Amino acid sequence: MMKLNQLVLASHNAGKLKELQAMLGEAVQLRSIGEFSQIEPEETGLSFVENAILKARNAARISGLPALADDSGLAVDFLGGAPGIYSARYADGKGDAANNAKLLDALKDVPDAMRGAQFVCVLALVRHADDPLPILCEGLWHGRILHAASGEHGFGYDPLFWVPERNVSSAELSPADKNQISHRARAMDLLRHRLGLK
């Protein structure tokens, strides 16, 4: 079991830092990679796992600290798992609204029964940049894609993602509720268990 009191998060996203720190609890302090470098590594992997490890190793190398990276996205069954690892840049980096519009267009005449999807999160933790045994934790959150956006919370594809167990879209959940059931929450539960924080 790994004992840690500090981790660097391989992300410049303040929202993600806050969300993951809340899930991790007080025992481990998360620091942003932004304290050490503004440069983002190129995500050259072909899977969530590869990209998470790549980002974690890069953050550990830059900071000299153990590092945690999250690679996540949306995998739509009808689209063969797309947008997948390209979720954030699905519409050529034009932002959330453009990504959502492109997804709705791709599923234009697809019936509800064929609109299954899952949010995927892979967390990778490395003790140092050359760690031969990264800790990998995966979380899946199953739902389906709506025909139109609904809800004001969250970000990314949240307004289009229907959560069957709550009968609302992800963007209609409170942040606290989402942090209990999301793909990221599920992966973090596994990580907390691996680190002996539960």
Query: Is 158 labelled a binding residue?
Result: yes
Task: Give me the catalytic one of 71, 92, 105, 112.
Answer: 71
Query: Is 96 labelled a binding residue?
Result: no
Query: Is 81 labelled a binding residue?
Result: no
- Closest by alpha carbon to 58, among 48, 49, 68? 68
Under DSSP, is residue 190 helix (H, G, I), strand (E, B) or coil? helix
Query: Is 55 labelled a binding residue?
Result: no
Query: Is 167 labelled a binding residue?
Result: no
Exposure class string for 72-86: b at 16+ Cβ within 10 A, else e:
bbbbbbbbeebbbbe
Query: Is 86 labelled a binding residue?
Result: no
User: Do 117 and 105 form a contact (C-beta atoms < 8 A)?
Assistant: no
CB neighbours of residue 174 within 10 Å: 10
Query: Is 15 labelled a binding residue?
Result: yes
Q: Residue 180: which residues within 8 A CB-CB, separation 6 or more?
A: none
Query: Is 16 labelled a binding residue?
Result: yes
Q: Is 71 a catalytic residue?
A: yes
Query: Is 156 labelled a binding residue?
Result: yes
Distances from the Cα of 103 to the Cα of 13, 87, 119, 145, angstroms: 23, 10, 14, 9
Annotated binding residues for Mg(2+) = 42, 71
Catalytic residues: 71
Annotated binding residues = 11-16, 42, 71-72, 155-158, 178, 183-184
Annotated binding residues for substrate = 11-16, 72, 155-158, 178, 183-184
